[in-house]
Amino acid sequence: MNTHEEDHPWLHRTVRDIATRGEGELTAIVHEHAGTRTVRIVHIRPASGIEWTTAANNVQLVR
């Protein structure tokens, strides 16, 4: 599987994961290539420091 990171204006801003309602800093958006599919995955780091991932479509800008 190949991956590459996306440059995005929301990087290092606070976002909300609508699937979990968790909030944190958007630290990366990664494109994961598997066969003919590409999936955009975001990495979110809350104040606790324990980062999680979710689909890019699940993210809203908070501030």
pLDDT score, position 61? 97
CATH of the domain at 52: 2.30.30
| pLDDT tier for residue 52 given thresholds of 50, 70 and 90 | very high
Indicate whether 53 pLDDT > 90: yes
| pLDDT tier for residue 44 given thresholds of 50, 70 and 90 | very high
pLDDT score, position 2? 64
* Number of compact structural domains in the chain: 1
User: Which is nearest to 30 in space by CA: 49, 51, 46, 48?
Assistant: 51
28 lies in which domain range? 2-61
CA pseudo-torsion sign 47, 52, 56, 58: negative
pLDDT score, position 6? 85
